[in-house]
Structure 1
Amino acid sequence: MGVGSCLPPRPVANEELAERLGRPPEWIFQRSGIRSRHVVEPGTTSGDLAVEAGREALSRSAVGDVGAVVVATTSPDRPCPGTAPSVAARLGMTGVTALDVQAVCAGFVYALGVAQGLIAAGTVDSALVIGTDTLSLSVAPDDPTSMLFGDGAGAVVLRSGHCEEPGALGPCVLGSDGGGRDLITVRAGGSEERSQAGGAPADPYLRLEGREVFWRAVEHMGSASRAALDAAGWKPEEVDRIVAHQANARILTMLAQRLGVPADRALSNIEQVGNTSAASIPILLDHASRAGDLEPGHRLLLTAFGGGLTWGATTLVWPHLERSH
């Protein structure tokens, strides 16, 4: 029923990272497809971005107050409590169902599945689903993978309805493989570290095994996407737009090739915003909607892959929404 997003005002171009990383700006672009990303200033949190994105999505919907707020994030404001209750309260919604979902870059698709289940079960009639992350605060400044990550938040408003209506979510196909947890991880800050009495402090930074993650992302987003298309009764050539997690431009190209969908149907804003983790898909939905790249009746495939390892996909027919300017 509504979509919105929020990017921090400060852009960071590759030229700003080049000297620190010891890599030329064009090398960064060739490896990632990213020329710039936005990062938060001191004092700005994931919750701050989530409130702004959620407020915009609500203002563009006809739903008003919602029954649940589901926040997907791997960079919460605090380890305890969750970020969602605070976001809900700041939006004037005290007393609603509010919870965090932690599935890293697949978090938004997981959160859609959670909200879909709450609505289908009759627990709530509507939900605000937000993906928000500030991973620029979690990466080591001298780690080359820090070039990938930007900050931001995106949100959508869901309501109960019928499966034939435009905007209705298809079945959410979700999966995980905890055996790959070390491929995308922050080792510090949890009970695993605290249980090691007298041990050396664990690594506090986000670490990513890029080569292995690349191939697993292609494999699992591909398989989840095919399952979601089968559940919707769609053939790959019937997909008008792929809205995939913006992890790496080369992953997006290879995913489209494997699915047999023309590459120009894979939407992308990674060049301007980088990898915004759980916020990636809703930010892209908002940007594409505002740019006119999403039209009512378009068949969309949403898919993502993240730490855990986790992955997921779902489908929908894009509805008529008010465009923000």
Structure 2
Amino acid sequence: MELSVVVATLNARDSLADALSALDDHAPGVEVVVVNGPSSDGTSGLARAHPAVDVLLELSERNLNAARNAGISAANGDAVAFVGQDSRIRESWLDGVRAAFDAGADAVTGPVHREVSGGVTTESLESATVAGRDVSFFDGGNVAFARDTLDALDGFDEYLETGGARDAAHRLAALDRTVRWEPSMVVLREDHEDVADRVVSASDESRWGVKYRALGYRLAKNYGVRPGVAFVLAKQAGLDAWTVARDVVSGEELPSKWVSNGSAVVRGAADGVRDGTRARRADTTPRRNPNGVSTRMDRAVARHDAHEQQSI
């Protein structure tokens, strides 16, 4: 198995250095593709100089899923992994990935250990049944796919500013592809915001809108407009509204903020359902991805290969 690793990054120079060094230490010889958004903190120079990096792609847009798709297009491996800019693979990671694909896995994920003040927490595989479909979710910063599985998905949906990995999980289930859980495929993650959070850098209100637009889009695109979609949206909105209401009661938030957040949720969800319905009509195949790898070739504005430089 020839493995490529894609690392999407944006303004995270120090964390990226640690992630790349871990790849250099624990996955020597693996092709590493770094996809850099329009960073302004010296990330580009770091990536070009780091010995682990084989290819650096420069993007002009802040879209995590566009970065992932650019990495897919550039990667040469017959399996492609995605490692977060803030994630350091552990010693057993590569053996875990190889064991999963040797056993015929379509996709594989593993534990994410987080560095927090109280110690280290471990995440396990999350699964759910949605409209009769068994869906296994995975962390987008610690997952690997067989090449034919990525081709079947056509990569990630670039409409989404957040939630691209969860959308891919729904589509994998629709394609009858499974996600294998490999306990030895471990990454250690710093406890701070990820690429998706950095992309959405506006107000809290816009964050609520982005979250619910993504949720409405995923549900409508993958399952159509049905009562179950409305129920999931309403249930999630109710849980979030209760959380914010408690902050209002405790004095941590103003009542006006609760109202404005609620308006952002309603608008975001409505926009997402509308756009998801259009996307469902645009791609009627089980992969449900009208904004995937094959839809454009202009993501990267520059490419730098190890020991040489060229523009595209």
Asked if TM exceeds 0.5, the reply is: no
Larger helix proportion, structure 1 or 2? 2
TM-score (norm 1): 0.29
**1 or 2 for the larger relative contact order (CA 8 Å, sep ≥6)?**
1
TM-score (norm 2): 0.30
For the pair shown, the structure with the greater C-alpha radius of gyration is: 2
